[in-house]
Copies of this chain bind each other. A is one copy, B any other.
């Protein structure tokens, strides 16, 4: 087992990992940029090192500095959290070449799944349904037109290296396909230095359903059920929940089984999430694998009782999963709300600044994962998340009632937050009825 772990991240996920380490009896070494110097959560680590100035590109994203910190911190492993370098296969490889275990999947599995075309190929060979589309990159316009007419319009043009909606276009006919191809490719070249695009059938009003996986180094793979993350705004998840509402039991089993199959096929290890879209007839299609822990992992922790961060660490240390598929329950209903320092009246622009007053709700089934406190200053340099409010109750109705109660209690003064939008979402009949799709927020507000 590791004695010391470096946490190559900041904020709430760094604190989450510090807590997991401490409960496992492992020492944690934190790193911080000058913008995060003095943050309370750093005091909770056993040691903390400044690795650079405020911009992430000069601190949290600098592999050299992280490896240096790992070396002077004398750690046996690095936990990358989410974001930053967490899905960077190069970083994972360098860590391991320096004899520091990367707490995440094998770097070759990361690389294979990080490329969308090769991920689709893995899915197909594992007999996991993908959205109909081109079998690989589109080489020219003629091929695109042929594929589009085969799978039928509307089609989606996607960058193979894409993410966050960049390099993505919907085309309803051949004219817009031709225009979109060029635009998407140029955007992808600019954003990811990779102009490769492929085509997919465009699924209208899809739900986003993802399956949490744990896979150890002994070949054991289990799923920890699904999360519904359909409440999104510009591809940013706002609310996540487990179990997914209105998903028939046999479909749910099929999706979870498909995810396990795909993960086994990819020779994947550690925690991962297999993302699907589900259409109105409950057909589901593989989208991508998130080869890391996710922001929304707490909802799965609540319904299964499994500490996912601890399991990540134990798996990386070579431990066997301490349970089998049959031992993984899904009890009650858990809903997570992300609370961001953003101005909902001003196009959700970031609202950094000092938190002058903070009242966090509590009580049975309430969890708030956050590194902030009264007096904390939200930095303009990083993401705007203040924290994640998680409600776990015996039923979905009770979880929604609990969430509404919490929203009435929550006070964050000093910065603008997404709390007003949250109240609207939880009061909307579409959410209460469980019929939200990924286009809902933009169509509604």
| Interface status of A250 (Cβ within 8 A of chain B) | no
Which chain A residues in 389-425 approach chain B with CB under 8 Å?
A: 394, 398, 401-402, 404-405, 408-409
A301, A331, A367 — which one has the most chain B CB atoms within 10 A of its CB? Answer: A367
Say yes or no: B305 contacts A19, CB within 8 Å. Answer: no
| Interface status of A264 (Cβ within 8 A of chain B) | no
Interface string of A355-368 (1 = CB under 8 A from B): 00001111111111
| Interface status of A374 (Cβ within 8 A of chain B) | yes
The residue from B332, B368, B405 contacting A22, defined by CB atoms under 8 A apart: B405
Say yes or no: A298 contacts B25, CB within 8 Å. Answer: no
Say yes or no: A364 contacts B298, CB within 8 Å. Answer: yes
A298, A360, A364, A366 — which one has the most chain B CB atoms within 10 A of its CB? Answer: A364
The size of the chain A interface, using a CB distance under 8 A, is 40
Closest B residue to A307 using CB positions: B364
Say yes or no: A394 contacts B305, CB within 8 Å. Answer: yes
Residues in B whose Cβ lies below 8 Å from that of A302: 364
Residues in B whose Cβ lies below 8 Å from that of A405: 19, 22-23
What separation, in Å, do the CA atoms of A295 and B409 have in the docked complex?
A: 22
| Interface status of A369 (Cβ within 8 A of chain B) | yes
Say yes or no: B373 contacts A301, CB within 8 Å. Answer: no
The residue from B301, B363, B402, B408 contacting A369, defined by CB atoms under 8 A apart: B363
The residue from B23, B365, B369, B408 contacting A362, defined by CB atoms under 8 A apart: B369
| Interface status of A370 (Cβ within 8 A of chain B) | yes
Say yes or no: B409 contacts A44, CB within 8 Å. Answer: yes
| Interface status of A146 (Cβ within 8 A of chain B) | no
- Given A23-B405, A402-B23, do A364 and B301 touch, yes or no (CB 8 Å)? yes
- Given A44-B408, A369-B363, A408-B44, do A398 and B331 touch, yes or no (CB 8 Å)? no
- Give the shortest distance, in Å, between A25 (CB) and chain B (any CB): 7
Residues in B whose Cβ lies below 8 Å from that of A409: 19, 44
| Interface status of A40 (Cβ within 8 A of chain B) | yes
| Interface status of A112 (Cβ within 8 A of chain B) | no
Closest B residue to A297 using CB positions: B364
What separation, in Å, do the CA atoms of A138 and B298 have in the docked complex?
A: 59
| Interface status of A16 (Cβ within 8 A of chain B) | yes
What separation, in Å, do the CA atoms of A209 and B359 have in the docked complex?
A: 36
- Give the shortest distance, in Å, between A185 (CB) and chain B (any CB): 43
What separation, in Å, do the CA atoms of A189 and B68 have in the docked complex?
A: 73
- Give the shortest distance, in Å, between A424 (CB) and chain B (any CB): 18
Say yes or no: B366 contacts A362, CB within 8 Å. Answer: no
Residues in B whose Cβ lies below 8 Å from that of A22: 401, 404-405, 408
Residues in B whose Cβ lies below 8 Å from that of A360: 360
**Interchain residue pairs A-B with the least CB separation, the first 10:** A22-B405, A19-B363, A23-B401, A374-B374, A301-B364, A23-B405, A307-B364, A23-B402, A305-B394, A44-B409
Q: What are 27 A-B contacts with C-beta separation under 8 Å?
A: A16-B363, A19-B362, A19-B363, A19-B405, A22-B408, A23-B398, A23-B401, A23-B402, A23-B405, A40-B359, A44-B408, A302-B364, A305-B332, A307-B364, A307-B365, A331-B331, A359-B373, A360-B360, A362-B367, A362-B368, A362-B369, A362-B370, A363-B367, A364-B367, A373-B374, A374-B374, A374-B375
